[in-house]
A and B are shown apart, each in its own frame.
Chain A
Amino acid sequence: KAGVTQTPRYLIKTRGQQVTLSCSPISGHRSVSWYQQTPGQGLQFLFEYFSETQRNKGNFPGRFSGRQFSNSRSEMNVSTLELGDSALYLCASSWTGGAYEQYFGPGTRLTVT
């Protein structure tokens, strides 16, 4: 089975712009979660989608949003980018929507200048 894929792998944006990141889960997985990884804050949970519905949301501002499509692919959007949004954004997929093994993709490295 192919693993979790994320596109693009690298992205450079300017402050104030918006960005959309994409994630394709492992075939058959219905849960997709997003995490932000930075040197200062470590790995932090953003949100989880299961069957096209947001199940959980982490402690991030409303500028961070996401959605999931009927084929389980997911996108996350960050509007009005700030310098502090520079991070590795990781997507993880899981078979179910509850406390099960999550498999991570390689991430999208976002740099905000």
Chain B
Amino acid sequence: QQQVKQSPQSLIVQKGGISIINCAYENTAFDYFPWYQQFPGKGPALLIAIRPDVSEKKEGRFTISFNKSAKQFSLHIMDSQPGDSATYFCAANPNNAGNMLTFGGGTRLMVKP
């Protein structure tokens, strides 16, 4: 059972454009939502994370928007750069259950120069 659905599977954006990746979850016990960036041959790197008590969090060019009622959250990458080309994963962790992330399927982003 896929508890976190991520879309799109792949995304091509022009340099300077906005990249948007969406995730939806089912388990209302989730209360921590991180995004990870993974380059080929590397482990996932934590980008930014949000908890349900806020609707938006921004760190540099990366913004998470969170809609608790719709059980959806998204990652916006502003001014996308070729160096942002990577695979992005959303994830969710349930409350009071330790660390056990459920990941979305991933989005392969390509930023064209």
Q: Contact residues of A with B, CB < 8 Å?
A: 4, 31, 33, 35, 42-45, 48, 50, 55-56, 58, 90, 92, 94, 97-107
Are the CB atoms of A102 and B42 closer together than 8 Å?
Answer: no
Q: How far is the CA of A102 from the CA of B41 in the complex (A)?
A: 19
Instruction: Decide if A31 touches B99 in the complex (CB within 8 Å).
Output: yes
Q: Say yes or no: is B28 at the interface (Cβ < 8 Å to chain A).
A: no
Closest B residue to A4 using CB positions: B43
Contact of A48 among B95, B100, B104 (CB under 8 A): B100
**Smallest distance from the beta carbon of B81 to chain A beta carbons, Å?**
23
A99 and B105: CB pair below 8 A? no
Q: How many residue pairs between the two chains, A and B, have CB atoms under 8 Å in the bound complex?
A: 75
The answer to whether A56 and B103 touch across the interface, beta carbons within 8 angstroms, is no
B99 touches A43 (CB 8 A): no
What is the CB-to-nearest-CB distance from B74 to chain A, in angstroms, rounded to a whole number? 19
25 contacting pairs across A/B (C-beta < 8 A): A31-B98, A33-B100, A35-B101, A42-B103, A42-B105, A44-B103, A45-B101, A48-B98, A50-B98, A56-B97, A56-B98, A56-B100, A90-B44, A98-B97, A98-B99, A99-B31, A99-B93, A99-B94, A99-B99, A100-B32, A101-B46, A101-B49, A102-B46, A104-B43, A107-B43
- Contact between chains at B46 and A58 (CB < 8 Å): no
Query: B residues within 8 A CB of A58?
Result: 100
Binary flags per residue of B54-94, CB closer than 8 Å to A gives 1, else 0 = 00000000000000000000000000000000000101011
List of B residues within 8 angstroms of A102 by Cβ = 34, 46, 99, 101
